């Protein structure tokens, strides 16, 4: 299962939730100002305030809780958007060295004039340098003026001991 998250849309949703918080503030202010005194019901209905006032308080508490919940959700959505952006950036940054290697390789392939050998996902494939020498030994390398097949390669076997070997001949 895959999904796409657009951090800007999450941030826009958080702003929408902030708007709902403002509307809940208006409702809370209205609820606080509409409270009636115990004398408002008169003598005949004096039994109603003890019944109605607790309900009024519960309604006000519910509005305050809703405002707090929406405000917390807006903050969490903003934090989630930020976390997605940071994770995406960290992932992109981790691919930067690979991207540079690909650009270098593409440049080398263009200079060499041959296509680079393909590699499978399992890492099975041929060594690029050997394959290039086998495929086109008459081509010049990027490192020197001698054809690849004629230039000896040096590598150190042990401290102070150097062995020279010829590049492989073409098939």
pLDDT tens, position by position, 4-24: 889 999 999 999 999 999 999
Number of domains composing the chain: 2
Kindly tell me if the per-residue pLDDT of 136 is higher than 80.
no
| Domain ranges, residue 54 | 7-112
Mean pLDDT of the chain: 75
pLDDT of 170 reads 58
Residues 29 and 80 in one domain: yes
101-105, Cβ contacts within 8 angstroms, sequence gap of 24 or more: none
Residues 107 and 42 in one domain: yes
Residue 117 included in any domain: no
Task: Give the pair of three-digit tokens for residue 57.
Answer: 């308080």
Dist CA 90 CA 88 (whole Å): 5
Task: Give the pair of three-digit tokens for residue 161.
Answer: 């001991």
Backbone angles phi, psi at 21, to 5 degrees: -60, -40
Q: What is the pTM of this model?
A: 0.51
Residue 80 included in any domain: yes
Dist CA 151 CA 140 (whole Å): 10
């Amino acid at each position: 299962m895959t999904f796409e998250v657009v951090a800007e849309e999450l941030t826009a949703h958080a702003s929408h939730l902030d708007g709902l918080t403002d509307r809940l503030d208006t409702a809370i202010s209205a609820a606080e100002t509409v409270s009636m005194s115990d004398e408002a019901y008169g003598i005949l209905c004096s039994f109603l305030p003890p019944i109605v006032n607790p309900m009024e308080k519960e309604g006000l508490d519910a509005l305050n809780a809703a405002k707090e919940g929406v405000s917390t959700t807006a903050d969490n959505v903003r934090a989630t958007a930020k976390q997605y952006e940071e994770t995406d950036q960290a992932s992109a940054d981790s691919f930067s060295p690979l991207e540079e290697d690909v650009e270098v390789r593409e440049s080398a392939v263009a200079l060499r004039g041959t296509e680079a050998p393909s590699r499978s996902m399992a890492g099975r494939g041929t060594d690029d340098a050997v394959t290039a020498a086998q495929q086109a030994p008459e081509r010049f390398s990027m490192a020197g003026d001698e054809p690849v097949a004629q230039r000896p390669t040096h590598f150190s076997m042990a401290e102070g001991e150097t062995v020279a070997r010829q590049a492989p001949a073409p098939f």
